[in-house]
Structure 1
Amino acid sequence: MILTSLHTETSAATNPPLVAARLTLEGYRNFFSSDAHPWPALINSLTASVVSTLLVLVLSIPAAYALSIKPVEKWTDVLFFFLSTKFLPIVAGLLPLYLFAIRTGTLDDIGLLIVLYTSMNLPIAVWMMQSFLAEVPREMLEAAALDGAGLINTLTRVIAPIALPGVAATSLICFIFSWNELMLARTLTATVAGTAPVFLTSFITSQGLFIAQLCAASLVISLPVLAAGFAAQDKLVQGLSLGAVK
Structure 2
Amino acid sequence: MTAVSTPVITTVSEATRRAKRRGTALAVLAWFVGVVFVLPVLWMLLTSFHSETDAATNPPSLAASLTLDGYKEFFGSGGGASPWPALLNSMGTSIFSTCFVLVLALPAAYALSIRPVRKWTDVMFFFLSTKMLPVVAGLLPVFLFARDISFLDNVWLLVILYTSMNLPIAVWMMQSFLADIPVSIIEAAQMDGARLPTILWRVVAPIAGPGIAATSLICFIFSWNEMLFAQVLTGVVAQTAPAFLTTFVTSQGLFLAKVCAASMVISLPVLAAGFAAQDKLVQGLSLGAVK
User: Normalised by the shorter chain, which TM-score bucket?
Assistant: over 0.9
Amino acid at match of 2:71: Y
Distance 2:171 2:184 in 1: 23
Show the counterpart of 2:133: 88
CA shift digits 1:213-240 (9 cap, x unpaired): 0000000011111111122122111101
Amino acid at match of 1:76: T
Structure whose alpha-carbon radius of gyration is higher: 2
- Report whether the alignment pairs 1:24 with 2:58: no
User: Do 1:30 and 1:36's aligned partners in 2 also have CA atoms closer than 8 Å?
Assistant: no
Distance 2:136 2:281 in 1: 31
Give the alignment of 1:113-132 within 5 angstroms. 113-132=158-177
Among all aligned residue pairs of Structure 1 and Structure 2, give the percentage whose two residues are the same amino acid.
71
Amino acid at match of 2:86: A
Amino acid at match of 1:35: G
Amino acid at match of 2:162: Y
Unaligned runs of 5+ in 1: none
CA RMSD of aligned residues (A): 0.8
How many residues were matched structurally? 246
Question: How many angstroms does 1:163 deviate by?
Answer: 0.4
CA shift digits 1:105-162 (9 cap, x unpaired): 0011111110000000000000001000001011211221222221112111111111
Distance 2:103 2:194 in 1: 20
- Report whether the alignment pairs 1:10 with 2:53: yes
CA shift digits 1:156-200 (9 cap, x unpaired): 111111100000000000000000000000010011111000011
- Report whether the alignment pairs 1:154 with 2:199: yes
- Report whether the alignment pairs 1:38 with 2:63: no
User: Do 1:6 and 1:212's aligned partners in 2 also have CA atoms closer than 8 Å?
Assistant: yes
Distance 1:72 1:163 in 2: 20
Amino acid at match of 1:6: F
SS at match of 1:114: helix
**Higher mean C-alpha displacement, 142-151 vs 80-89:** 142-151
Show the counterpart of 2:237: 192
Distance 2:290 2:186 in 1: 22
- Report whether the alignment pairs 1:99 with 2:144: yes
Greater relative contact order (Cα < 8 A, sep 6+) = 1
Amino acid at match of 1:131: S
TM-score (norm 1): 0.98
Amino acid at match of 1:3: L
Amino acid at match of 1:4: T
SS at match of 2:236: coil
Amino acid at match of 1:78: V
Show the counterpart of 2:115: 70
Question: How many angstroms does 1:52 deviate by?
Answer: 0.3
User: Do 1:65 and 1:130's aligned partners in 2 also have CA atoms closer than 8 Å?
Assistant: yes
Match of 2:281 among 218, 229, 236: 236
Show the counterpart of 2:8: none
Question: How many angstroms does 1:36 deviate by?
Answer: 2.7
Distance 1:102 1:154 in 2: 42
User: Do 1:172 and 1:228's aligned partners in 2 also have CA atoms closer than 8 Å?
Assistant: yes
SS at match of 1:245: coil
